Amino acid sequence: MSSANIKSVCVLGLGYIGLPTASVIASRGVQVIGIDVKEEVVAKINKGEIHIVEPDLEAVTAHAVQQGHLRAATKPEVADAFMIAVPTPFHDGKADLAYVEAAGRSIAPLLRKGNLVVLESTSPPGTTDRLVEQMAAMRPDLKFPSAGDEDCDVHVAYCPERVLPGRVLTELVENSRVIGGITAGCSAKAEELYRIFCKGELNVTNARTAEMCKLTENAFRDVNIAFANELSIVCEKLGINVWELIKLANYHPRVNILQPGPGVGGHCIAVDPWFIVAAAPDEARLIRTSREVNDSKPQLVLGKIRTAIDKRGAAGRPTVALLGLAFKADVDDLRESPALAIAETVAGWGNCEIIVSEPNIDKLPESLAGKPHVRMLEDIQEVVGRAEILVMLVNHRPYTEIQRGKLDGKTLIDTRGVWS
Ligand code: SAJ
């Protein structure tokens, strides 16, 4: 399918997904306008700079801006295709679709015959149908698609992102995609858009299945991590080394257990399964319980730290080293990080001296800064040397350099299986 009909794209939302997508499409020579409500973000991008951390993105964005293919603005403009990549936060037991609705409202007046509208934001099943209804109500002069009727003026599809932070530029191009058109014709039109920059397979389905597919991928991972986390809780009770257990079980050709940890963080896996629970509360029992198991882990880790401090505390205030703050290994992202939440709680107790180590960040986050009993040290050997209690919260690569002999006589709490 040729993409010659799509010469301009308007991307709404210039965050972790929208900005890389806009930059990559622009790098293929297509005219891209990126829209963000934040003026400072728009100004930065127009200077060829970026406001998020992602390897190689700044160079691609800067080049696209210099070549005149990428421009940012606060208000959308006419284009051949519109891509919506705005946040869909989860509050009070349901998805907040206000940003998707605002995006729909802002593009409806600009739509012309032959346009394509794609929603990429993680959304509960039925959101794309509602977006169509909303735009149709604002534009009675245009015919919008409905399942089973191929005749329409504007095509609409749901195509979820599935890139891994830290590998976004590679995965945007290489990963396969799910293309969920409202009709087969809508899917064909969306394929034209994704062929501009995707080398991966484009798997076509309908919008509702595509919406559920995104949620399913992240719920699958959450449930599997919950299995590992539950095993760690069971093994604790039974006096069994869970890391050895999982390693042994994984020698079975059809067993592949993930790794337990201090909880599940990041802005996707800890959130998206709730969209399924909200859509089918009585049916999604395993998915809900998995969320609860994963969310219970930080409290269990805190219990162990509290016990260790109480034991050591008889001789004064012990020094506790908290190793890692990020939500997972080798990233600098603190969003929904269980390690950060644990550090904040321990800092609030005020019953110990705290040394924080985070090799990917150069200063204490605001929630920990300015407390006299909390400091950050860069040199890992010094952190180990000074601490009586060491808590491994994130298995960052530099921690593998810690020599086992240096740990003698210290209390070790290992949430990631690095020392176990
Ligand atoms: N974790 C464990 N044990 C494991 C694996 C992960 O405790 O064995 C924890 C991590 O430490 C972290 C959390 O789970 O706190 C999530 O990390 P992750 O690496 O599993 O996933 P994310 O959040 O970085 O990215 C996920 C990816 N989804 C899947 O792998 C199904 C990515 O492809 C999605 O694009 C992204 O969510 C998203 O934006 O939805």
57 or 3, higher pLDDT: 57
Q: State percent of the chain over pLDDT 90.
A: 91
Q: Is 217 in the pocket of ligand 1 (CB under 6 A)?
A: yes
**What own/partner pairs with CB < 8 Å and gap ≥ 24 does 383-387 have?**
383/321, 383/323, 383/355, 383/357, 384/321, 384/410, 386/319, 386/321, 386/355, 387/319, 387/320, 387/321, 387/355
User: Would you say residue 256 has pLDDT above 60?
Assistant: yes
Would you place residue 26 in the very low, low, confident or very high pLDDT band (cuts 50, 70, 90)?
A: very high
Q: Is 221 in the pocket of ligand 1 (CB under 6 A)?
A: yes
Q: Is 218 in the pocket of ligand 1 (CB under 6 A)?
A: yes
Would you place residue 3 in the very low, low, confident or very high pLDDT band (cuts 50, 70, 90)?
A: low
Cα 124 to averaged position of ligand 1 atoms, centre (Å): 19
Please report the beta strands in 366-405, taking only residues with DSSP state E, as ranges in sequence order: 374-376, 389-392
The pLDDT, as a whole number, for residue 78 is 98
Q: Is 145 in the pocket of ligand 1 (CB under 6 A)?
A: no
Helix (H) or strand (E) holding 97: none
Cα–Cα distance between 3 and 193 in angstroms, integer? 6
The residue among 400, 406, 365, 363 whose CA lies nearest residue 382 is 406
Q: Is 327 in the pocket of ligand 1 (CB under 6 A)?
A: yes
Q: What residue's CA is closest to ligand 1, atom 4?
A: 259
Q: What residue's CA is closest to ligand 1, atom 7?
A: 261
Cα 286 to averaged position of ligand 1 atoms, centre (Å): 18
Active site residues: 214, 268
State which ligand 1 atom lies nearest to the alpha carbon of 163.
35
CB contact at 8 A, 110 and 119: no
User: Would you say residue 148 has pLDDT above 90?
Assistant: no
CATH number of 253-414: 3.40.50.720
* Residue found by looking up tokens 């969320």 in the block: 291
Q: Which residue type, as a one-letter code, is found at position 44?
A: K
* Phi–psi pair at 83, nearest 5 degrees: -120, 130
Which segment of 3-12, 124-133, 215-224, 267-276 scores lowest on mean pLDDT?
3-12
Q: Is 317 in the pocket of ligand 1 (CB under 6 A)?
A: no
Question: pLDDT (tens digit, 9 = 90+) per residue, 337-357?
Answer: 999 999 999 999 999 999 999
State which ligand 1 atom lies nearest to the alpha carbon of 262.
7
Cα 328 to averaged position of ligand 1 atoms, centre (Å): 8
Tally Cβ neighbours within 10 Å of residue 109.
11
Cite the residue boundaries of each domain of the chain with CATH code 3.40.50.720.
8-207, 253-414
The pLDDT, as a whole number, for residue 94 is 87
Collect all residues with Cβ–Cβ distance below 8 Å to 254 and sequence separation of at least 6.
Answer: none
The pLDDT, as a whole number, for residue 93 is 80
Q: Is 163 in the pocket of ligand 1 (CB under 6 A)?
A: yes
Query: Span 51-55, mean pLDDT?
Result: 86
The pLDDT, as a whole number, for residue 52 is 86
Cα 36 to averaged position of ligand 1 atoms, centre (Å): 26
Query: Span 242-268, mean pLDDT?
Result: 97
User: Would you say residue 54 has pLDDT above 90?
Assistant: no
In angstroms, the Cα distances linking 211 to 119, 165, 285, 361, 395 are: 10, 20, 20, 35, 33
Pairing of strands 155-158, 177-181: antiparallel
Query: Span 301-313, mean pLDDT?
Result: 95
Query: Span 247-260, mean pLDDT?
Result: 98
Q: Is 270 in the pocket of ligand 1 (CB under 6 A)?
A: no
Would you place residue 315 in the very low, low, confident or very high pLDDT band (cuts 50, 70, 90)?
A: confident
Q: What residue's CA is closest to ligand 1, atom 37?
A: 268
In angstroms, the Cα distances linking 416 to 73, 356, 419 are: 44, 17, 8
The pLDDT, as a whole number, for residue 1 is 45
Q: Is 319 in the pocket of ligand 1 (CB under 6 A)?
A: no
State which ligand 1 atom lies nearest to the alpha carbon of 331.
24
For ligand 1, pick from 16, 53, 120, 164 the residue to mutate: most ligand atoms within 8 Å of CB: 164
State which ligand 1 atom lies nearest to the alpha carbon of 258.
8
The overall average pLDDT reported for the chain is: 96
Cα 28 to averaged position of ligand 1 atoms, centre (Å): 29
- What CATH number does domain 8-207 carry, 3.40.190.10, 3.30.465.10, 3.10.129.10, 3.40.50.720? 3.40.50.720
Query: Span 127-150, mean pLDDT?
Result: 96
Q: Is 264 in the pocket of ligand 1 (CB under 6 A)?
A: yes
Question: pLDDT (tens digit, 9 = 90+) per residue, 150-194?
Answer: 899 999 999 999 999 889 999 999 999 999 999 999 999 999 999
In angstroms, the Cα distances linking 226 to 232, 302, 333 are: 10, 18, 21
Q: The whole model's pTM is what?
A: 0.92
The pLDDT, as a whole number, for residue 166 is 84
State which ligand 1 atom lies nearest to the alpha carbon of 266.
23
Cα 269 to averaged position of ligand 1 atoms, centre (Å): 6
Pairing of strands 81-84, 70-73: unpaired
* Phi–psi pair at 32, nearest 5 degrees: -120, 135
Would you place residue 313 in the very low, low, confident or very high pLDDT band (cuts 50, 70, 90)?
A: confident
Cα 92 to averaged position of ligand 1 atoms, centre (Å): 23
Q: Is 216 in the pocket of ligand 1 (CB under 6 A)?
A: no
State which ligand 1 atom lies nearest to the alpha carbon of 329.
11
